[in-house]
Amino acid sequence: MSILDHLPQFIVSGLTTGSIYALIALGFCIIHNATGIVNFTQVDFVSLGGLMMYTLLLSLGLPLILAFVLAVVAVTVVGGLVERLAIRPARSRAVIILIFITIGVSILMRGIFKILWGKNQMGVPHFSSETPITFFGATILPQNLWIFLITFIAVVALQFFFSRSRIGKAMRATSFNPRAAALMGVNVNRMILFSFALSGALGAVAGIIIVPITTLSYEIGVMLGLKGFAAAVLGGYGNSLGAVIGGLLLGVLESVGAGVISSTYKDVIAFSILLLVLFIKPSGILGYGDTERL
Amino acid sequence: MWKRFPKYRSTVALFVLAAGIVGFPKLIPNPYYLNVANIIGLNTIIVVGLNLLVGYAGQVSLGHAAFYGIGAYISAILTVTYGVPSWPALIVAASVTGLIALIIGIPTLKLRGHYLVMATLGFNLIANIIIVQCDTVTGGPSGFPGVPALSLGGWTFDTDEKMYYLIWLFAFLAILLALNLAGSRVGRGLKALHGNESAASCVGVPTKTYKVKIFVLSAVFASVAGSLYAHYLSFVSPKTFDIFFSVELVTMVIVGGMGSIWGCLFGAAFLTSLPNVLHSFDEYKDIFYGLILVVILLFVPEGLIVGVAQRWRASRTARPKDQPGLETDQAGPRDLAPPQEKVNIVGSFASQVQIAPCEPILRIQNVFRGFGGVMAVSEVSFDILRGAITAMIGPNGAGKTTIINLICGVYRPSHGTILFQNRSIERLQPYQIARLGLARTFQNLQIFDNMTVLENVMVGLHAKTNNEFLVSMLHLPAFKREETQIRQRAMDALAFFNLENHADIPAYQLSFGQQKRLEMARALAPNPQLILLDEPVAGLNMTESLEIAELILKMRSQGISVLLVEHDINVVMRISDKVVVLNYGIKIAEGSPHEVQTNEDVLSAYLGGAV
Long-range contacts, B265-270 (Cβ 8 Å, 24+) = B265/B17, B265/B44, B265/B48, B265/B171, B265/B175, B266/B304, B266/B305, B267/B47, B267/B303, B267/B304, B267/B305, B268/B40, B268/B43, B268/B44, B268/B46, B268/B47, B269/B40, B269/B44, B270/B304
Q: How many CB atoms lie within 10 A of CB B474?
A: 13
Which of A150-154, B116-120, B301-305, B387-391 has the weakest average pLDDT?
B301-305
Considering only the beta carbons, identify the residue of B121, B301, B442 that sits closest to A90. Answer: B301
Ranked by mean pLDDT, which of A212-221, B324-333, B394-403 comes out on top? A212-221
| Distance separating alpha carbons of residues B570 and B89, to the nearest angstrom | 70
Q: A275 and B199: CB-CB below 8 Å?
A: no
Q: Pairing relation of β-strands B151-152 and B155-156?
A: antiparallel
Find chain B residues with C-beta within 8 A of A94's C-beta: 301
pLDDT at A293 over 70: no
Q: How far is CA B450 from CA B196, B506, B512, in A?
A: 10, 7, 16
Q: B446 and A294: CB-CB below 8 Å?
A: yes
* pLDDT at site A250: 94
| Distance separating alpha carbons of residues B203 and B455, to the nearest angstrom | 13
pLDDT greater at residue B72 or residue B398? B72
In a domain, A290, yes or no: no
pLDDT at B563 over 70: yes
| Distance separating alpha carbons of residues B75 and B87, to the nearest angstrom | 9
The full 3-state SS of B57-117, as one line of letters, equals CCCCCCCHHHHHHHHHHHHHHHHHCCCCCHHHHHHHHHHHHHHHHHHHHHHHCCCCHHHHH
**B169 CA: distance to closest CA in chain A (Å):** 31
Which of B324-333, B364-373, B399-408 has the weakest average pLDDT?
B324-333
* pLDDT at site B1: 39
Average pLDDT over residues B462-469: 88
pLDDT at B415 over 70: yes
Test mutation, B50, B100, B120, B125, chain A, max A CBs within 10 A: B125
Q: What is the largest distance, in Å, between two alpha-carbon atoms of chain A?
A: 64
Sheet holding B423-424, edge to edge: B374-385, B360-371, B415-420, B423-424
Contact B245, B13 (CB under 8 A): no
Q: How many CB atoms lie within 10 A of CB B448?
A: 26
For A92, nearest residue in chain B (alpha carbons): B301
Average pLDDT over residues B496-525: 91
Q: Pairing relation of β-strands B389-393 and B561-565?
A: parallel
pLDDT greater at residue B540 or residue A200? A200
| Distance separating alpha carbons of residues B394 and B398, to the nearest angstrom | 6
Considering only the beta carbons, identify the residue of B111, B129, B198 that sits closest to A292. Answer: B198
pLDDT at B356 over 70: no
pLDDT at B316 over 60: yes
Average pLDDT over residues B16-38: 88
Identity of residue B559 = G
Confidence category of residue A1, pLDDT binned at 50, 70, 90: low
A89-148 confidence digits (pLDDT tens): 998 888 889 999 999 999 999 999 999 999 999 999 999 988 888 888 888 999 999 999
| Distance separating alpha carbons of residues A203 and A213, to the nearest angstrom | 17
- The sign of the dihedral angle between the CA atoms of B20, B21, B26, B32 is positive
Interface predicted TM-score (ipTM) of this complex, two decimals: 0.90
In a domain, A286, yes or no: no
| Distance separating alpha carbons of residues B384 and B376, to the nearest angstrom | 20
* pLDDT at site B104: 93
For A275, nearest residue in chain B (alpha carbons): B119
Find chain A residues with C-beta within 8 A of B444's C-beta: 293-294
Contact B600, B607 (CB under 8 A): no
Number of C-alpha atoms within 13 angstroms, CB side, residue B101? 31
In a domain, A288, yes or no: no
Per-position DSSP letters for A119-134, written without gaps between them: SS-B----SS----EE
Find chain A residues with C-beta within 8 A of B130's C-beta: 268
Q: A100 and B258: CB-CB below 8 Å?
A: no
Q: A38 and B117: CB-CB below 8 Å?
A: yes
Q: What percent of chain B has pLDDT over 90?
A: 58
Q: A268 and B129: CB-CB below 8 Å?
A: yes
> Across-strand partners of B393?
B581
| Distance separating alpha carbons of residues A232 and A245, to the nearest angstrom | 9
pLDDT at B237 over 90: yes
Q: How many CB atoms lie within 10 A of CB A36?
A: 16
Average pLDDT over residues B588-592: 90
3-state class (DSSP) for residue B364: strand
In a domain, A60, yes or no: yes
Considering only the beta carbons, identify the residue of A95, A99, A282 that sits closest to B111. Answer: A282
Find chain A residues with C-beta within 8 A of B251's C-beta: 100, 103-104
Test mutation, B114, B197, B408, B447, chain A, max A CBs within 10 A: B114
Identity of residue B184 = S
The distance from CA B399 to its chain's CA centroid, rounded to whole angstroms, is 30
Give me the number of domains chain A comprises: 1
List all residues 6 or more positions away from B459 whose beta carbon is below 8 Å from its beta carbon: B188, B189, B191, B192, B200, B203, B205, B448, B451, B522
pLDDT greater at residue B607 or residue B277? B277
Contact B561, B359 (CB under 8 A): no
Find chain A residues with C-beta within 8 A of B208's C-beta: none
Q: A282 and B442: CB-CB below 8 Å?
A: no
Q: How many CB atoms lie within 10 A of CB A123?
A: 11
pLDDT at B174 over 70: yes
In a domain, A228, yes or no: yes
* pLDDT at site B338: 44
Domain of A84, in residue numbers: 3-280
Average pLDDT over residues A23-49: 95
List all residues 6 or more positions away from B446 whose beta carbon is below 8 Å from its beta carbon: A294, B196, B198, B199, B202, B519
Buried b (16+ CB within 10 A) or exposed e, B259-277: bbbbbbbbbbbbbbebeee
Confidence category of residue B192, pLDDT binned at 50, 70, 90: very high
Considering only the beta carbons, identify the residue of B115, B126, B287 that sits closest to A271. Answer: B126
Find chain A residues with C-beta within 8 A of B253's C-beta: none
| Distance separating alpha carbons of residues B420 and B384, to the nearest angstrom | 9
Considering only the beta carbons, identify the residue of B113, B289, B297 that sits closest to A100. Answer: B297
* pLDDT at site B471: 87
Angle at B64 between CA B61 and CA B66, to 5 degrees: 130
Residue in A202, A205, A195, A165 with CA at minimum distance from that of residue A84 = A195
Q: What is the CATH number of the domain that holds A255?
A: 1.10.3470
B60-86 confidence digits (pLDDT tens): 999 999 999 999 999 999 999 999 999
Q: A278 and B130: CB-CB below 8 Å?
A: no
For B62, nearest residue in chain A (alpha carbons): A100
Classify residue B532 by burial, with Cβ atoms within 10 Å: 0-12, 13-18, 19+. buried
Find chain B residues with C-beta within 8 A of A108's C-beta: 286-287, 289-291, 293-294
Find chain B residues with C-beta within 8 A of A293's C-beta: 444
* pLDDT at site B343: 54
| Distance separating alpha carbons of residues A229 and B117, to the nearest angstrom | 10
Contact B44, B256 (CB under 8 A): no
> Across-strand partners of B385?
B360
* pLDDT at site B327: 38
Residue in A14, A29, A74 with CA at minimum distance from that of residue A50 = A74
Find chain A residues with C-beta within 8 A of B128's C-beta: none
* Per-residue DSSP letter, B590: E
CATH class of this structure's domain B360-607: alpha beta
Considering only the beta carbons, identify the residue of B114, B123, B251 that sits closest to A100. Answer: B251
Q: A32 and B114: CB-CB below 8 Å?
A: yes
Helix axis angle, B477-496 to B512-524, nearest 10°? 130
* pLDDT at site B32: 82
Find chain A residues with C-beta within 8 A of B532's C-beta: none
Q: B114 and A267: CB-CB below 8 Å?
A: no
Confidence category of residue B454, pLDDT binned at 50, 70, 90: very high
> Across-strand partners of B563?
B390, B532
Find chain A residues with C-beta within 8 A of B112's C-beta: 282, 290
Calculate the CA dihedral of residues B281, B285, B291, B292 and round it to 10 degrees.
80
List all residues 6 or more positions away from B396 whose beta carbon is below 8 Å from its beta carbon: none
Classify residue B140 by burial, with Cβ atoms within 10 Å: 0-12, 13-18, 19+. middle
Confidence category of residue B337, pLDDT binned at 50, 70, 90: very low
| Distance separating alpha carbons of residues B459 and B448, to the nearest angstrom | 9
* pLDDT at site B330: 39
| Distance separating alpha carbons of residues B107 and B2, to the nearest angstrom | 44
* Per-residue DSSP letter, B538: T
Q: B283 and A114: CB-CB below 8 Å?
A: yes
Identity of residue B219 = A
Considering only the beta carbons, identify the residue of B196, B254, B286 that sits closest to A111. Answer: B286
Q: A294 and B405: CB-CB below 8 Å?
A: yes
Q: What is the largest distance, in Å, between two alpha-carbon atoms of chain B?
A: 95
* Per-residue DSSP letter, B53: I
Confidence category of residue B311, pLDDT binned at 50, 70, 90: confident
pLDDT greater at residue B283 or residue A197? A197
Q: B258 and A114: CB-CB below 8 Å?
A: no
Q: B126 and A230: CB-CB below 8 Å?
A: no
A205-249 confidence digits (pLDDT tens): 999 999 999 999 999 999 999 999 999 999 998 888 999 999 999
Q: What percent of chain B has pLDDT over 70?
A: 91
Which of A123-127, B150-154, B207-211, B370-374 has the weakest average pLDDT?
B370-374
* pLDDT at site B70: 97
The distance from CA A278 to its chain's CA centroid, rounded to whole angstroms, is 20
Q: A92 and B302: CB-CB below 8 Å?
A: yes
Buried b (16+ CB within 10 A) or exposed e, B487-522: eebbbbbbbbbbbbbbbebbbebbeebbbbbbbbbb
Structural domain boundaries in chain B: 32-241, 360-607
Ranked by mean pLDDT, which of A124-128, B95-99, B151-155, B575-579 comes out on top? B95-99
Find chain A residues with C-beta within 8 A of B258's C-beta: 96
Contact B77, B222 (CB under 8 A): no
Buried b (16+ CB within 10 A) or exposed e, A193-230: bbbbbbbbbbbbbbbbbbbbbbebbbbbbbebbbbbbb
